[in-house]
Amino acid sequence: MARWEPGARERLVVAAVDLFTEQGYDATTVAQIAERAGLTRSTFFRHFTDKREVLVAGQETLSQLLAEGIAEAPADASPLDAVAAGLRRASSAMGPMNRELAPRLRAAIAASAELQARDALKSSSLAAAMAAALTVRGVPDATARLAGELGVLAFKRGYAEWSDGDHDTADALARLAVAALDELRAATKTLG
Protein backbone atom coordinates (compact mmCIF):
# COMPACT_ATOMS: atom_id res chain seq x y z
CA MET A 1 0.00 0.00 0.00
CA ALA A 2 1.13 3.52 -0.79
CA ARG A 3 2.05 5.41 2.30
CA TRP A 4 2.86 9.01 1.46
CA GLU A 5 1.26 9.52 -1.95
CA PRO A 6 -0.27 12.92 -2.59
CA GLY A 7 -4.02 13.27 -2.39
CA ALA A 8 -4.42 10.74 0.43
CA ARG A 9 -7.14 12.77 2.17
CA GLU A 10 -9.17 13.13 -1.01
CA ARG A 11 -8.75 9.44 -1.86
CA LEU A 12 -9.98 8.51 1.61
CA VAL A 13 -13.05 10.72 1.22
CA VAL A 14 -13.89 9.22 -2.18
CA ALA A 15 -13.38 5.68 -0.89
CA ALA A 16 -15.53 6.31 2.18
CA VAL A 17 -18.39 7.86 0.22
CA ASP A 18 -18.28 5.01 -2.29
CA LEU A 19 -18.39 2.40 0.48
CA PHE A 20 -21.11 4.25 2.44
CA THR A 21 -23.18 4.26 -0.75
CA GLU A 22 -22.49 0.64 -1.69
CA GLN A 23 -22.87 -1.10 1.65
CA GLY A 24 -24.12 1.51 4.11
CA TYR A 25 -22.37 3.57 6.73
CA ASP A 26 -22.74 1.06 9.59
CA ALA A 27 -21.31 -1.83 7.56
CA THR A 28 -18.26 0.18 6.44
CA THR A 29 -15.05 -0.07 8.46
CA VAL A 30 -12.03 2.18 8.58
CA ALA A 31 -9.94 -0.74 7.31
CA GLN A 32 -12.18 -1.05 4.25
CA ILE A 33 -11.96 2.68 3.56
CA ALA A 34 -8.16 2.63 3.80
CA GLU A 35 -7.92 -0.46 1.61
CA ARG A 36 -10.23 1.00 -1.05
CA ALA A 37 -8.10 4.17 -1.08
CA GLY A 38 -4.90 2.11 -1.36
CA LEU A 39 -3.66 3.40 1.99
CA THR A 40 -3.07 2.12 5.50
CA ARG A 41 -5.31 2.47 8.56
CA SER A 42 -2.67 4.65 10.18
CA THR A 43 -2.82 7.00 7.20
CA PHE A 44 -6.59 7.17 7.66
CA PHE A 45 -6.14 8.13 11.31
CA ARG A 46 -3.61 10.83 10.40
CA HIS A 47 -6.41 12.55 8.50
CA PHE A 48 -9.57 11.62 10.42
CA THR A 49 -10.36 10.65 14.01
CA ASP A 50 -13.10 8.23 12.87
CA LYS A 51 -15.22 7.42 9.84
CA ARG A 52 -17.86 10.04 10.77
CA GLU A 53 -15.26 12.75 10.32
CA VAL A 54 -14.98 11.93 6.61
CA LEU A 55 -18.34 13.66 6.26
CA VAL A 56 -16.92 16.96 7.46
CA ALA A 57 -13.70 16.88 5.46
CA GLY A 58 -13.00 20.49 4.60
CA GLN A 59 -15.48 21.95 7.11
CA GLU A 60 -12.85 24.11 8.78
CA THR A 61 -11.74 25.47 5.43
CA LEU A 62 -15.34 26.12 4.40
CA SER A 63 -16.05 27.93 7.69
CA GLN A 64 -12.92 30.02 7.25
CA LEU A 65 -13.79 30.95 3.66
CA LEU A 66 -17.33 31.95 4.65
CA ALA A 67 -15.99 34.12 7.48
CA GLU A 68 -13.31 35.69 5.27
CA GLY A 69 -15.86 36.56 2.59
CA ILE A 70 -18.08 38.18 5.20
CA ALA A 71 -15.15 40.10 6.68
CA GLU A 72 -14.09 41.37 3.25
CA ALA A 73 -17.57 42.57 2.26
CA PRO A 74 -17.89 46.35 1.89
CA ALA A 75 -18.36 48.16 5.21
CA ASP A 76 -21.85 49.34 4.24
CA ALA A 77 -23.05 45.87 3.18
CA SER A 78 -26.19 44.61 4.88
CA PRO A 79 -25.83 41.40 6.92
CA LEU A 80 -27.28 39.31 4.07
CA ASP A 81 -25.13 41.07 1.48
CA ALA A 82 -22.10 40.18 3.63
CA VAL A 83 -23.34 36.57 3.80
CA ALA A 84 -23.64 36.61 -0.01
CA ALA A 85 -19.97 37.66 -0.16
CA GLY A 86 -19.14 34.74 2.13
CA LEU A 87 -21.09 32.34 -0.09
CA ARG A 88 -19.21 33.56 -3.15
CA ARG A 89 -15.87 33.11 -1.40
CA ALA A 90 -16.69 29.61 -0.11
CA SER A 91 -18.12 28.53 -3.47
CA SER A 92 -14.81 29.29 -5.12
CA ALA A 93 -13.23 26.39 -3.21
CA MET A 94 -15.68 23.81 -4.54
CA GLY A 95 -14.50 21.80 -7.51
CA PRO A 96 -15.39 18.83 -9.67
CA MET A 97 -14.72 16.31 -6.87
CA ASN A 98 -17.24 18.05 -4.59
CA ARG A 99 -19.79 18.06 -7.37
CA GLU A 100 -19.24 14.42 -8.24
CA LEU A 101 -19.46 13.20 -4.64
CA ALA A 102 -22.48 15.27 -3.59
CA PRO A 103 -25.32 12.99 -4.73
CA ARG A 104 -23.69 9.88 -3.24
CA LEU A 105 -22.90 11.70 -0.03
CA ARG A 106 -26.50 12.92 0.27
CA ALA A 107 -27.71 9.34 -0.23
CA ALA A 108 -25.33 8.04 2.45
CA ILE A 109 -26.47 10.74 4.88
CA ALA A 110 -30.14 10.03 4.18
CA ALA A 111 -29.58 6.35 5.00
CA SER A 112 -27.79 6.89 8.34
CA ALA A 113 -29.12 8.55 11.49
CA GLU A 114 -25.55 8.95 12.73
CA LEU A 115 -24.50 10.78 9.56
CA GLN A 116 -27.64 12.93 9.70
CA ALA A 117 -26.68 14.02 13.21
CA ARG A 118 -23.12 14.79 12.12
CA ASP A 119 -24.40 16.74 9.12
CA ALA A 120 -26.63 18.81 11.43
CA LEU A 121 -23.60 19.61 13.60
CA LYS A 122 -21.70 20.66 10.49
CA SER A 123 -24.51 23.01 9.49
CA SER A 124 -24.60 24.49 12.99
CA SER A 125 -20.86 25.05 12.89
CA LEU A 126 -21.02 26.80 9.52
CA ALA A 127 -23.88 29.03 10.73
CA ALA A 128 -21.91 29.86 13.88
CA ALA A 129 -18.85 30.82 11.81
CA MET A 130 -20.93 33.19 9.71
CA ALA A 131 -22.69 34.64 12.75
CA ALA A 132 -19.35 35.25 14.48
CA ALA A 133 -17.99 37.03 11.40
CA LEU A 134 -21.11 39.19 11.25
CA THR A 135 -20.87 40.02 14.94
CA VAL A 136 -17.31 41.26 14.38
CA ARG A 137 -18.81 43.61 11.77
CA GLY A 138 -21.10 45.02 14.48
CA VAL A 139 -24.24 43.10 13.54
CA PRO A 140 -26.45 42.44 16.61
CA ASP A 141 -26.33 38.84 17.83
CA ALA A 142 -29.89 37.79 16.93
CA THR A 143 -29.57 39.26 13.43
CA ALA A 144 -26.15 37.67 12.94
CA ARG A 145 -27.46 34.25 13.98
CA LEU A 146 -30.46 34.47 11.68
CA ALA A 147 -28.30 35.62 8.76
CA GLY A 148 -25.88 32.74 9.44
CA GLU A 149 -28.70 30.19 9.41
CA LEU A 150 -30.09 31.64 6.18
CA GLY A 151 -26.58 31.49 4.73
CA VAL A 152 -26.29 27.77 5.49
CA LEU A 153 -29.71 27.07 4.03
CA ALA A 154 -28.83 29.04 0.90
CA PHE A 155 -25.50 27.26 0.52
CA LYS A 156 -27.14 23.84 0.87
CA ARG A 157 -29.85 24.70 -1.64
CA GLY A 158 -27.35 26.12 -4.12
CA TYR A 159 -25.00 23.17 -3.61
CA ALA A 160 -27.80 20.65 -4.21
CA GLU A 161 -28.87 22.37 -7.44
CA TRP A 162 -25.26 22.72 -8.58
CA SER A 163 -24.42 19.08 -7.96
CA ASP A 164 -27.61 17.73 -9.52
CA GLY A 165 -27.72 19.99 -12.55
CA ASP A 166 -25.64 20.76 -15.58
CA HIS A 167 -23.74 23.76 -14.21
CA ASP A 168 -20.18 23.60 -15.48
CA THR A 169 -19.14 27.24 -15.26
CA ALA A 170 -16.64 28.23 -12.61
CA ASP A 171 -19.05 30.62 -10.89
CA ALA A 172 -22.18 28.43 -11.11
CA LEU A 173 -22.22 27.39 -7.44
CA ALA A 174 -21.78 30.98 -6.27
CA ARG A 175 -24.61 32.17 -8.51
CA LEU A 176 -26.92 29.39 -7.33
CA ALA A 177 -26.15 29.92 -3.64
CA VAL A 178 -26.63 33.69 -3.88
CA ALA A 179 -29.87 33.17 -5.83
CA ALA A 180 -31.08 30.84 -3.07
CA LEU A 181 -30.16 33.49 -0.50
CA ASP A 182 -32.14 36.08 -2.47
CA GLU A 183 -35.15 33.73 -2.49
CA LEU A 184 -34.87 33.28 1.27
CA ARG A 185 -34.51 37.05 1.75
CA ALA A 186 -37.74 37.55 -0.17
CA ALA A 187 -39.44 34.76 1.76
CA THR A 188 -38.60 36.37 5.11
CA LYS A 189 -40.60 39.44 4.06
CA THR A 190 -43.75 37.30 3.90
CA LEU A 191 -43.38 36.06 7.48
CA GLY A 192 -45.02 39.17 8.90
CATH number of the domain to which 146 belongs: 1.10.357.10
Whole-prediction pTM: 0.85
Nearest CA-CA partner of 17 in 35, 6, 33, 38: 33
Nearest to 139 by CA among 89, 177, 82: 82
State pLDDT tens for residues 148-191.
999 999 999 999 999 887 766 668 999 999 999 999 999 999 99
Structural domains counted in the chain: 2
Q: So what's the pLDDT on residue 6?
A: 62
Asked if residue 20 and residue 106 are part of one domain, the reply reads: no
User: Is residue 30 a contact partner of residue 50, using CB atoms and an 8 Å limit?
Assistant: yes
All residue ranges of the chain with pLDDT < 70 are 1-6, 167-170
Structural domain contains residue 2: no
